[in-house]
Structure 1
Amino acid sequence: MTAVQSPLDKPFGPFTTAADVADGVDLTGKSAIVTGGASNLGFETVKILALKGAHVVVPARNASAARQVFHDMPNVEVAAMDLLDPLSITAFASGFKESGRALDLLILSAGVMATPLFRDAAGREGQFATNHLAHFRLAAALWPRLRSADGGARVVVLSSRAHQLGGLDLSDLDFRRRAYDKWLAYGQAKTANALFAVALDARGADHGIRAYSVHPGSILGPLARHLSREEIEQFGAVHPDGTAVVDPDRDLKNPQQGAATTIWCATSLALEGVGGVYCEDCDIAPVEADGELGGPGVRPFAIDRETAEALWRESARLLDIHQPGYC
């Protein structure tokens, strides 16, 4: 079966937690890598995977601080990696490959949101470079380990309903001609994340590698560090005392609820034979061509196969990656 962007109507929903989804799951003997795993959603994802028996590797820019986070958590190791440093990504991937382990789960959770304009060393717009291009490079470097996974591997990419802000402009990915807008740039990066899963799944399915993109929900945490208090209040995401609003019916979740769809995509038997789909609330999301901005569902342009292939080719060109079977 290939990608079928249609809900399965599973017995979960916006209130479901990662622990709920993982009930009965046994990941003993499995290996996982979780980017962004040292905080918030990523931390909850790592915790559940490790609790269920997986050996989890967390790449972190500040490896020392990340080791403090996981100092008493079994089945977790930390390694240094900076998503904006290509040599760092290569070194991390080489270290993992030298371990001899296959890679069963690759969770691409790290990212930035609505930042002021910044660029990587190659001059690429920073949100696109961090959220998409760096993960494209990492997945390429780990491709042989994904292919060697006994019983198949899964790749889960954190996207967002922010993709609904307007897709991506392949002719101006770096905002050279367009005026920079932090939300359009974020929406473009999140669209790229969803399209990445579509194209990666197309390449991996014959090798047992399936890919999924995820909207986790709106969770107040470090991702919002570039937003003002006024902006956060406009989203209705914070109480007057500064604590986060948790109201899953409005897509406002806590980290345990936010990690649920990632864990579902990583482990659910309901997704056997299915990939390249965008998921939310522990189910495959419906396609909504003209839905309310920020409402449920995925826009058609974020799962379009031709656009996904065009983005894949451009990403490979920008990063000068020519790996057989991947590019």
Structure 2
Amino acid sequence: MTTPQLKLGSGFGADSTAEDVLADIDLTGTFAIVTGGYSGLGLETTRALTAAGARVLVPARRPDVARAALDGIDGVEVAALDLSDLDSVRDFAEWFDGTGRAIDILINNAGIMACPESRVGPGWEAQFGVNHLGHFALVNRLWPRIAPGARVVAVSSAGHWRSAMRWDDVHFTTGYDKWEAYGQSKTANILFAVHLDALAASAGVRAFSLHPGGIITPLQRHLSRQEQTAMGWLTADGDPVPGLFKTPQQGAATQVWAATSPLLDGSGGVYCEDCDIAPIAETEPPGVRGYAIDPDQARRLWELSVKLTGVDAFA
């Protein structure tokens, strides 16, 4: 059954932290995977989940860097995974399958933003390839280990307002625009959750997407200080504009809420922000654009992703 894009009145909001969300939730015995869970929002998500009792596996392109960042956090382990490389995704999934463990929470948190034009895999535009296709292949390959009752959470962004799917040229073979490419990849994250939920709900697995809010993290690494100042993100001194951004702890809250909130039991396929389901909006944020939650668009993206990656757990 389709869950409506209507607020639930969660009791949390933009100022809530991941710790706030999990204050009354015991995750003892829960196993989670958080891609990119060693930097920015991912690191705060890992901290919050482990503090609530979960064990967390962090797949990382740079395992040594991840282990150093996670040093001192109990209940966490690291494994190698490069989302831009389908062979790496396959190898990680095969290794994990051999562990025999079941996944209760899978958070697709890793991503890149507004990078210079670059290609991954067989010539895919990098943001679409890493943010969407790598995670698409990962979830499909891990499907046999995803437990009934599990939640899959795709970290999207209000950046999806920048672009619908460019069906005529998803890889930007002409006219590359780094922000439009980022926007398309974030729309893809939402559409992925919509169709995964439609496919997986009968197995007791639900999927969600979300906007974490604006946060200064390493995600901005491809943007110069001058560019961020011109965009109104930084002051002339290079400091974040007061009142404009969430803290990383606040930014992690919505993905933790989507992964654990009892209010979402029996629900799925919805886009969330500020620790609640977001309304549909078509003129300006906040909210989700209709094209990003359209089931026909979601099905079309799934079919394209299967063709590109050669992976479909639901075939």
Aligned residue runs from structure 1 range 159-198, under 5 A = 159-176=156-173, 178-198=174-194
- Report how many aligned residue pairs link the two structures: 315
Aligned residue runs from structure 1 range 1-327, under 5 A = 1-146=1-146, 149=147, 152-176=149-173, 178-245=174-241, 247=243, 250=244, 252-290=245-283, 292=284, 295-323=285-313, 325=314, 327=315
> In the alignment, residue 274 of structure 1 is paired with which amino acid?
S
Unpaired stretches in structure 2, ≥5 consecutive residues: none
Answer with 267-276 or 80-89: which moved more.
80-89
- Offset at 1:236? 2.8
Residue by residue over 1:245-285, the C-alpha shift from the partner in whole angstroms, topping out at 9 and shown as x without a partner, is: 452xx4x2110000000010000000011100000000000
**SS class of match (2:103):** coil
Residue by residue over 1:101-129, the C-alpha shift from the partner in whole angstroms, topping out at 9 and shown as x without a partner, is: 11000000000001111011300111100
- Offset at 1:234? 3.1
> In the alignment, residue 308 of structure 1 is paired with which amino acid?
A
Q: Do the aligned partners of 2:229 and 2:238 also contact (CA within 8 Å) in 1?
A: no
**SS class of match (1:225):** helix
**SS class of match (1:117):** coil
> In the alignment, residue 287 of structure 2 is paired with which amino acid?
G
- Offset at 1:171? 2.1
Unpaired stretches in structure 1, ≥5 consecutive residues: none
| RMSD over aligned Cα atoms | 1.3
Answer with 1-10 or 103-112: which moved more.
1-10
**SS class of match (1:37):** coil
Q: Do the aligned partners of 1:33 and 1:57 also contact (CA within 8 Å) in 2?
A: yes
Distance 1:161 1:37, change over 3 A: same
Structure 1 CA distance, aligned partners of 2:128 and 2:266? Answer: 30
Residue by residue over 1:150-194, the C-alpha shift from the partner in whole angstroms, topping out at 9 and shown as x without a partner, is: 5x1001101011111121112210112x40000100000000000
Q: Do the aligned partners of 2:209 and 2:270 also contact (CA within 8 Å) in 1?
A: yes
- Offset at 1:309? 0.2
Q: Do the aligned partners of 2:34 and 2:109 also contact (CA within 8 Å) in 1?
A: yes
TM-score with structure 1 length normalisation? 0.93
Q: Do the aligned partners of 1:59 and 1:78 also contact (CA within 8 Å) in 2?
A: yes
Q: Runs ≥4 in structure 1, deviation > 4 angstroms?
A: none
> In the alignment, residue 279 of structure 1 is paired with which amino acid?
C
- Offset at 1:237? 2.4
Q: Do the aligned partners of 1:246 and 1:254 also contact (CA within 8 Å) in 2?
A: no
Q: Do the aligned partners of 2:37 and 2:109 also contact (CA within 8 Å) in 1?
A: yes
- Offset at 1:4? 1.2
**SS class of match (1:104):** strand
